[in-house]
Amino acid sequence: MKMFLISDNDDTCTGMRLAGVEGVVVHERSELKAALENAIRDKETGIILLTEKFGREFPELIDSVRLEHRTPLIIEIPDRHGTGRKKDFITAYVNEAIGLKL
């Protein structure tokens, strides 16, 4: 299986290509939707990497793909500017998921 990157900037795409991960750069919702459909159609793709900006701007599109398809796995990654999440986002996520305060 292979990974495929859908990025909003050339720098992230270039960096991932140096690591052997192919990808595309998109900016509009329609381009993102088409790129996701193409990546899902390729049965060799096991993981789709998305820059976090797409999760913030188009959460309904990303969530619908996650709900409708078992594979590939969709992972949001920070871009070259870093993450847009709070420092304790993992702890907060675990607290919410299991209902216990760590």
pLDDT digits (tens, 9 = 90+) for 62-82: 888 888 888 899 988 876 665
Ranges of each domain in the chain: 2-98
CA distance 70 to 26: 24
Confidence at residue 102, expressed as pLDDT on a 0 to 100 scale: 57
Residue linked to tokens 């140096």: 18
Contact 13, 5 (CB under 8 A): yes
Contact 79, 9 (CB under 8 A): yes
Give the global pTM: 0.76
Question: Mean pLDDT, consecutive 10-residue segments, the chain of 102 residues?
Answer: 91 88 93 93 92 87 88 83 62 68 60
Contact 84, 56 (CB under 8 A): yes
Contact 63, 46 (CB under 8 A): no
CATH number, domain 2-98: 3.40.50.10580
